[in-house]
Structure 1
Amino acid sequence: MGEVAEKESVTLEDLKKKMADFAKERNWDQFHSPRNLLLALVGEVGELSEIFQWKGEVPKGCPDWEEEEKVHLGEELSDVLLYLVRLSDMCGVDLGKAALRKIELNAIKYPVQASKGSSNKYNNSKNKNKEMQMTLTEGSNISTTESA
Structure 2
Amino acid sequence: MTELEKLAGKLRRFAEVRDWERFHTPKNLAMALAGEVGELLAELQWLTPEEAASVMDDPEAAERLRSEVADIMIYLTRLADVLNIDFVEAAHVKLDKSDRRYDVETYRGSARKAPPLA
TM over 0.5: yes
**Count of residue pairs brought into register by the alignment:** 115
Specify which structure has the higher proportion of helix: 2
Larger radius of gyration: 1
Q: Deviations over 1:57-113 (max 9, x none)?
A: 222x535x4101101100001101110111111112111110110110110111111
Partner SS, residue 76 of structure 1: helix
CA contact (8 A) 2:26 2:83 kept: yes
The answer to whether 1:62 aligns with 2:24 is no
In structure 2, the residue matched to 1:79 is 71
1: CA distance between counterparts of 2:13 and 2:89?
22
2: CA distance between counterparts of 1:25 and 1:56?
44
> Any stretches of 5+ residues in structure 2 without a counterpart?
none
TM-score, length of structure 2 as denominator length: 0.88
TM-score, length of structure 1 as denominator length: 0.72
2: CA distance between counterparts of 1:62 and 1:114?
33
In structure 2, the residue matched to 1:127 is none
The answer to whether 1:96 aligns with 2:88 is yes
Within 5 Å, give how 1:1-148 maps onto structure 2: 11-57=3-49, 58-59=52-53, 62=55, 65-123=57-115, 133-134=117-118
Shift >3 Å, 4+ stretches: none
2: CA distance between counterparts of 1:133 and 1:45?
28
Q: Offset at 1:11?
A: 2.7
Letter in 2 for 1:34: P
CA contact (8 A) 2:36 2:72 kept: yes
- Structure with greater contact order relative to length (CA < 8 Å, sep ≥ 6): 2
2: CA distance between counterparts of 1:53 and 1:133?
33
> Any stretches of 5+ residues in structure 1 without a counterpart?
1-9, 124-131, 135-148
Letter in 1 for 2:65: L
Letter in 1 for 2:66: G
- Root-mean-square deviation (CA), in Å? 1.6
2: CA distance between counterparts of 1:13 and 1:21?
12
